[in-house]
Amino acid sequence: MSTEASALGATPGDSHSSGGAPASEGLFSPSAAVSTAGTSVIATRGLTKRFGSLVAVDSIDLDVRRGDIYGFLGANGSGKTTTVRMLLGLVLATSGQIELLGQRMPKATGRVLPKVGALVEGPGSYGHLSGRTNLLLLDGSGPGASRRNRGARVDEALTHVGLGGVGRRPVKAYSLGMRQRLGLAAALLRSPELLILDEPTNGLDPQGIQEIRQLLLHLHANGTTIFLSSHLLAEVEQLCTRVGVLDRGRLIVQSQLADLQKPTGRIVVRTPDIAAARSLLDGHVEHQDGDRLLIRALDPAELNARLVQRGVRVSELGLERRSLEQTVLELTGPSADRVEPS
């Protein structure tokens, strides 16, 4: 498994060499810098959490940089929520170190968390109060938020997540999707530099997922760095710039998404004249699937010219790319929450 990850150049702590300051202050010395491009926003070293004999998170080195939308992918039970909880100081790590916005956690919790918006699995609230009152109380309970514009900020956050018109309805009468939206609104209250979201689209319908995706893209365009966990490959593929994949507690891939989706070097050709194409490209056809051929060792422009010159009709021609799903499924084992009979 790890050899394949290495072959992809995508093992944890992958090197992206372009300039920028290494995470030299605080946790990591320049020689051991986890982050070499951009400013480090989340950096962990050997982060581990054990519950008795179970290693829920196994020595992970996260490297999230300013401006990333980082997708933290993992099957059920792979350790996503446990990692998020450790980042936010909600549970103590068994071993390892964490730096958030350049500061050591949990030591700097009081200074760092006001700049971080967070949504963790099953956001809590007072069921008998409205969403708005919950947010007003939440904002008032933490340090550093201005009281003067509290109401306006709460209304803006509710509008952002599509709950602007929900009125006085108590949270206990909210649907699952509405509770999730309220949790997101809570994360947005203080215009955070960094959003840490544990499965933000959990419980939302396709329209809701699309709305939240647009909201996150909007926040990102306005300078917010986003770290989100998900078990949905498609969600991460559509939204994220950088990906980390967790498999039973281990970070088996950490890479820019574009690097994982690099062309494989093969060309996909679809043609209704399959027999003619095969005989023309003899020796280069690696695989046939219906009217689709996988061709290797040819330049796409030359291949196209060759086919067209011989009167072979081409309905599609392009570089083959690996999907994130292929990469992840090849590298990961079965879902960690499968419980087999003994």
Ligand X SMILES: Nc1ncnc2c1ncn2[C@@H]1O[C@H](COP(=O)(O)OP(=O)(O)OP(=O)(O)O)[C@@H](O)[C@H]1O
Q: Rule CB under 6 A: choose which of 46, 51, 272, 323 binds ligand X.
A: 51
**Span from 51-59, 174-182, 234-242, 294-302 in contact with ligand X (CB under 6 A):** 51-59
Q: Binding to ligand X by residue 250, rule CB under 6 A?
A: no
CB of 183 to ligand X, least distance (A): 14
Sole binder of ligand X in the list 12, 38, 71, 77 (CB under 6 A): 77
324 binds, among Mg ion, ligand X, none (CB under 5 to 8 A by kind): none
Compute how many residues bind ligand X; rule: CB under 6 A: 13
Buried b (16+ CB within 10 A) or exposed e, 254-285: bbbbeebbeeeebbbbbbebbeebeebbeebb
- Mind giving me the DSSP string for 241-269? SEEEEEETTEEEEEEEHHHHT-EEEEEEE
DSSP one-letter code for 95 = E
Tell me the closest approach of the beta carbon of residue 55 to Mg ion, in angstroms. 16
Q: In this complex, which beta carbon is closest to Mg ion, that of residue 22 or of residue 183?
A: 183
State the binding partner of 205 from ligand X, Mg ion, none, CB within 5 to 8 A by kind.
Answer: none
Nearer to ligand X, 85 or 181 (CB): 85
The nearer residue to ligand X, 78 or 327, going by C-beta atoms, is 78
Among 231, 242, 252, 328, binds ligand X (CB under 6 A): 231
199 Cβ partners below 8 Å, 6+ apart? 80, 81, 121, 228, 229, 230, 231
- Report the interface residues with Mg ion, using CB under 5 A: 80-81, 121
Cβ proximity to Mg ion, 121 vs 325, nearer residue = 121
Sheet strands (E) in the chain: 40-51, 54-60, 63-65, 69-74, 95-100, 103-105, 116-119, 194-198, 225-230, 242-247, 250-256, 263-270, 285-289, 292-295, 316-321
Q: How far is CA 47 from CA 11, 167, 184, 310, 311, in A?
A: 16, 43, 26, 59, 60
Partner in contact with 231, chosen from ligand X, Mg ion, none, beta carbon below 5 to 8 Å by kind? ligand X
Tell me: does residue 65 bind ligand X (CB under 6 A): no
Select the binding partner of residue 105 from ligand X, Mg ion, none (C-beta < 5 to 8 A, by kind). Answer: none
Site residues (CB under 6 A) for ligand X? 51, 54, 56, 74, 76-82, 121, 231
